[in-house]
Structure 1
Amino acid sequence: MKVSGRENNKPQGKQQGEFESVHRDLMIGFGNWEFDPIEIKNPFPNNEGSVHLWQGDDDRLVSVELQRYIVGKLPWIHYHELPGAGHFFQYKDGMSEAMLKAMLAGGK
C-alpha cells in the first residue's frame, strides 16, 4: 500500500516548526487531561474497529514504560513498539504506509 502525495504534504506536518510541535506534545503529555486514561472503555466492544498505539522505545518525550503500563491495563489496544525509534518516527520512510496497513488491513 502506498500513500500518494506524502512528499507533497510533508511540509505541512511541521508547518509551525518543530519547536511548536514539541511544545504542543509536552502540553498534552504534562497537562491536565481531566480524566484517567486507564478508565477508558473499549470503543469497539464488538470488534467493529480497533485502537492502535505506536511507541518508539527511544522516545525522550513520551515514556515507553508509561505506554507499556497503559497497554497492560487496556489489553484491547493494539500496541506497536518500535525498537530504536524516537518521538518523530512517523516521518521515517515507509512508516505511514506501515501504520495504515496495520490499521486498515490488519497488517496484511
Structure 2
Amino acid sequence: MSAGLATKALCKRFPARDGGEPVRALEGVEMTIGAGEFVSIVGPSGCGKSTLFNILAGLDRPSSGEILLGGRRADRLLGEIGYMPQHDLLMPWRTVLDNAALGLEMNGVAK
C-alpha cells in the first residue's frame, strides 16, 4: 500500500471552562489510510470527528502526536491540504464564481 495519511499518538485537549481538568477530545489516535483508500469516520455527536478533521486539515493543532501525509509531516505541507466542512462557508450574497474566486482575491490576484 502506498503512503497516504497516518496519525501517530494524536491527542487534542481543550482547557476546561471551569478551570478544572482539560477536556480530552482525542486521545492516542492511531490510523493509517493508504493512498486512494476510501474511509468513513463515524460516531455520535461530540465524539471528536470534527476536531480530528480540523487537525488533519491544518485548521487546528494537536496537543501532541504526529500526522504524516504521503510520508511527510503534515505541518510542513501548508497550502497543500483541502477540506470541506460539514456546513459550507459560502457567502450567500456572492455568486458561485465570486465565492470560488475569493481565495484569489484575498491573495491580491486580479480577475
TM-score (norm 2): 0.24
Query: Which structure dedicates a bigger proportion of its chain to helix?
Result: 1
TM-score (norm 1): 0.24
Q: Look at both structures and tell me which one has the larger radius of gyration over its CA atoms.
A: 2
Query: Which structure dedicates a bigger proportion of its chain to strand?
Result: 2
